[in-house]
Structure 1
Amino acid sequence: MLFHVRMDVHLPRDLPAGERDAILAREKAYSQELQRSGEWRHIWRIAGAYANVSIFDVADNARLHEILSGLPLFPFMTIAVMPLLRHPSAIRDDDT
């Protein structure tokens, strides 16, 4: 199943720099592992915001929830999820 996910990050200003850096390093490693596996298909930054739009290709809602709640930045995020379906006018076979 494909999902469009917007993630807005809201790190506390008083978060110690060392703790912030450790969380960000874990986040990067975790997300890149999921990208290599193919479950996190695309990620784009949103200009002017500490946010991204991502496309996930996962087995079901439960797997998406598991991935998102496992993000080290999850406690600091506002997340919006939209399930996606193939459009009948789509011409690419590899976007399912």
Structure 2
Amino acid sequence: MLFHVRMDVNLPASMPEAEATALKATEKAQSQALQASGQWRHLWRIAGQYSNISLFDVSSIDELHQLLSQLPLFPYMKIQVMPLCRHPSSIREDDR
């Protein structure tokens, strides 16, 4: 199943810089591992914001929730999820 996910990150201004840097590095490594696995299919930054639009390819909404809730930045995110399905007018044979 494909899911369109918007993640808006809001780290507290009071968070020490070293802690924020370490958290972001851990997040980057985990997100790249999920991308390599094919579960996190696409990742785009929203220009001018600490936000992204991503496409996930997982077997269920429960699997998506598990992946998202294990992200290091999860406690600092506002997340919007939209399930996707093929449009009948699409000329594409697959979801790539």
By the TM > 0.5 criterion, same fold? yes
Aligned residue number for residue 33 of structure 1? 33
> RMSD between aligned alpha carbons?
0.9
Looking at structure 1, the residues matched to 29 and 92 of structure 2 have their Cα atoms a distance apart, in angstroms, of 30
> Deviations 1:63-84 (Å, cap 9, x if unpaired)?
0001100110000000000000
Looking at structure 2, the residues matched to 95 and 89 of structure 1 have their Cα atoms a distance apart, in angstroms, of 13
Give the count of matched residue pairs. Answer: 96
Length-normalised TM-score, structure 1: 0.97
Provide the identity percentage.
64
Aligned residue number for residue 91 of structure 1? 91
Aligned residue number for residue 47 of structure 1? 47
Q: Map 1:6-21; keep pairs closer than 5 Å.
A: 6-21=6-21
Q: Which of structure 1's runs of 4+ aligned residues deviate more than 3 A?
A: none
Structure 2: runs of 5+ lacking an equivalent: none
Looking at structure 2, the residues matched to 83 and 70 of structure 1 have their Cα atoms a distance apart, in angstroms, of 20
Opposite residue 49 of structure 1, the aligned amino acid is Q
Structure 1: runs of 5+ lacking an equivalent: none
Opposite residue 90 of structure 2, the aligned amino acid is A
